[in-house]
A = this chain, B = another copy of it.
Amino acid sequence: MPLRRVLIANRGEIAVRVIKACFDEGIESVLAVSEADRGSLGAQLADEVVVIGPAAAAESYLDVNRVVAAAQVTGCDALHPGYGFLSERVELSAECEEAGIAFVGPSPEAMRRSGDKATARALAKELDVPINEGSDVIASEEEARGVAAEVGYPVLLKASAGGGGRGMRLVESEAELASAYAQAHGEAQAAFGDGRLFVERYVRHARHVEVQVLGDGEGGAIHVGHRDCTLQRRYQKLVEEAPAYGLSEALEDEILGAARRLIGALDYAGAATCEFLVDPDRGSAGFLEINARLQVEHPVSEMVTGVDVVREQLRIAGGEGLSVSQDDVEIRGHAIEVRINAESPQRDFAPTPGTVTEWAAPAGTDVRVDTACFPGWTIAPYYDSLLAKLIAHGPDREAALARTRQALRHLRVAGVETTAGFALDVLEHPDVVAGRVHTRWVEEEFIPDWSAAHAAAVGEGVA
């Protein structure tokens, strides 16, 4: 039956986002917080708050037992993991199942199968989903050398269990392979307790395109359009857009259909994202991986379709099914999301914890700001540095870019340095306006010039 009371096992802006969705659905929200987050905005907005552990994430937001116990002792019938933290831990989904708590996300089985890159790639092959040339899981450096020779250098070594760039290495030539393999293997082992790697052809000017999918858990799945997340720095997304621009209709249909097939075949319940690597030179797309959770950038899909992804997650978990059919999903205009982090672009994006003395989000009809920030909020050093997501909508990409820049200019923040100014410079760059970017453009082409130009300003604490 519909959910009655949901424990939110997360923090920051996504906690506030899920609380809002619960409010909209008439569901009570209980927020599990660490001691450091007692005074957070989410804690102020939730119907109830429960302190589960100390500031250290390992003993709070990353502790499966405490999180499930929190749901039990507060009488919740469901648990929403948000993104990051435990959101893709099969163990959490399983513990919830055992405790009779509805997990707002896929079943342990669906999560296991989608979460492991090798398994997902194998499934993709079965379903005739185009995958980037490369190997399945490889056993040794030797094997890697063989595959690399086949597909041709440069190649990418990737952790099978991994994500976020950990256990990933770019190998330009055979000479680099040995050390790269050792590094990637070690990193993967340390980060995921699973050192398995696979090899992929490296696409020089690749674009990161992904499809938002909602699965009904019974083999059905609809897409909520695609997104472009090409603007990244060290595999961390900076700017996301919906829809992905400049794709041929054939390519669009291919990835949208592929994503639905994949999620359907997994009997996947809830929100998932299928990532593709798009090679503009060839006009081809290759499946990369499935993210078995809500994503940071889901708002851009919501802005262009009107579909509330988080509310749909709650409906699916409550057994109510999707409120929309594929035919209802219509893309209107263009939306852009900018991540505003408490980081210093001039000090290699070092986090800038501290107290926000001034915070005023721009007020605009086509502008949405997802944040847990407020004047007086102190950004703790324990967690990630995402301060806010600024999302703007326009009739087309050009208008959306203009509105996003205008909104960024009207953001008022003081007390901590942020990436807002840096993001504005990115969005003003001709290559971004023209869409002539690739996944390494920020690092290789933008930042070098930008850093030189802003060297003078170092230490001025630009907000």
Contact = CB atoms under 8 A, between A and B. Distances in A.
A3 interface: no
A45 interface: yes
A44 B411 CA distance: 9
Given A363-B23, A364-B20, A375-B374, A358 B412 contact: no
A358 B376 CA distance: 10
Count of identical protomers in the assembly: 2
A242 interface: no
A16 B363 contact: yes
A19 interface: yes
Interface in A391-407: 406
Contacts of A125: none
B23 A364 contact: yes
Contacts of A131: none
A323 B135 CA distance: 58
Contacts of A364: 20, 23-24
Contact of A45 (B19, B23, B363, B376): B363
Determine the main DSSP class of A at the interface with B.
Answer: mixed
B23 A362 contact: yes
Contacts of A367: 23
Contacts of A45: 360, 362-363, 410, 412
A376 to B, nearest CB: 5
A374 B357 CA distance: 12
Given A45-B410, A412-B44, A20 B375 contact: no
A308 interface: yes
A270 B44 CA distance: 40
Contacts of A26: 406
A406 B412 CA distance: 30
B20 A358 contact: no
A444 interface: no
A389 to B, nearest CB: 14
Interface string A12-55: 00001001100110100000000000000100110100000000
A365 B406 contact: no
Nearest to A377: B375
Nearest to A20: B363
Interface of A: 16, 19-20, 23-24, 26, 41, 44-45, 47, 308, 358-360, 362-367, 374-376, 406, 410, 412
12 contacts: A20-B363, A20-B364, A23-B364, A23-B367, A24-B364, A24-B365, A24-B366, A44-B358, A44-B360, A45-B363, A45-B410, A360-B374
